[in-house]
Copies of this chain bind each other. A is one copy, B any other.
Amino acid sequence: MPAPSRSPANGHDAVTGTLLRLVRSEPTATRASLIERSGMGRTIVTQRVNELVDVGLLAEAGMDKSTGGRAPRTVRFRREAACVVGIELGVSSLEVALTDLAGRALGFHEEAWDVTRGPDATLDRIDSIIETLLATHRPPGTPMVGIGMGLPGPVEYLSGTPVAPPVMPGWAGYPVKERLTSRHEVGAWVDNDVNVMAMGELQAGNAAGVRDFLYVKVGTGVGAGLVSRGRLHRGAGGAAGDIGHIAVADAAPLPCRCGKRGCLETLAGGAALAAAASAKAQDGDSPFLAARREERADLTARDVADGARSGDLTCINLLKAAGEQIGRALAAMINFFNPSLVVIGGGVALSGDLLLAAIRHRVYDLSLPLATRSLRVEMSALSNQAGMIGAAFTAIEELLSPQQLTTWTHHLTDTSPPQQTATA
User: Does A328 lie within 8 Å of B247, measured CB to CB?
Assistant: yes
- Of the 9-residue stretches A110-118, A232-240, A274-282, which lies at the interface with chain B? A232-240
Contact with B along A1-41 (1 / 0, CB 8 A): 10110100011111100100000000000000000111111
User: Does B211 lie within 8 Å of A338, measured CB to CB?
Assistant: no
**Among candidates B229, B240, B338, residue contacting A337 with C-beta atoms closer than 8 Å:** B240
Contact with B along A36-53 (1 / 0, CB 8 A): 111111001000000000
User: Does A370 lie within 8 Å of B239, measured CB to CB?
Assistant: yes
User: Does B226 lie within 8 Å of A229, measured CB to CB?
Assistant: no
Complex: how many Å from CA A339 to CA B260? 22
Minimal beta-carbon separation of A46 from chain B (angstroms): 12
Contacts of A120 in B (CB 8 A): none
Complex: how many Å from CA A397 to CA B138? 47
User: Does B36 lie within 8 Å of A258, measured CB to CB?
Assistant: no
Minimal beta-carbon separation of A204 from chain B (angstroms): 21
The listed residue with most B CB atoms (<10 A of its CB), out of A14, A18, A239, A328, is A239
Complex: how many Å from CA A266 to CA B340? 27
Copies in the complex: 2
Minimal beta-carbon separation of A29 from chain B (angstroms): 15
A contacts with B: majority SS? loop
User: Does A338 lie within 8 Å of B40, measured CB to CB?
Assistant: no
User: Does B337 lie within 8 Å of A226, measured CB to CB?
Assistant: yes
Complex: how many Å from CA A368 to CA B258? 8
**A379 interfacial contact with B, CB 8 Å:** no
User: Does A242 lie within 8 Å of B39, measured CB to CB?
Assistant: no
**A231 interfacial contact with B, CB 8 Å:** yes
**Among candidates B4, B333, B370, residue contacting A237 with C-beta atoms closer than 8 Å:** B370
**A336 with B236: in contact, given A12-B39, A13-B40 (CB under 8 Å)?**
no
Name A residues whose Cβ lies closer than 8 Å to a Cβ of B.
1, 3-4, 6, 10-15, 18, 36-41, 44, 154, 163-164, 211-212, 224, 226, 228-229, 231, 233-243, 245-247, 250, 258, 260, 328-329, 331-333, 335-340, 366, 368-371, 373-375, 402
A-B contact pairs, 18 of them (CB 8 A): A3-B36, A4-B36, A6-B41, A13-B39, A228-B233, A229-B233, A235-B371, A236-B339, A237-B370, A237-B373, A239-B335, A242-B336, A242-B371, A245-B368, A250-B250, A260-B366, A332-B332, A333-B336
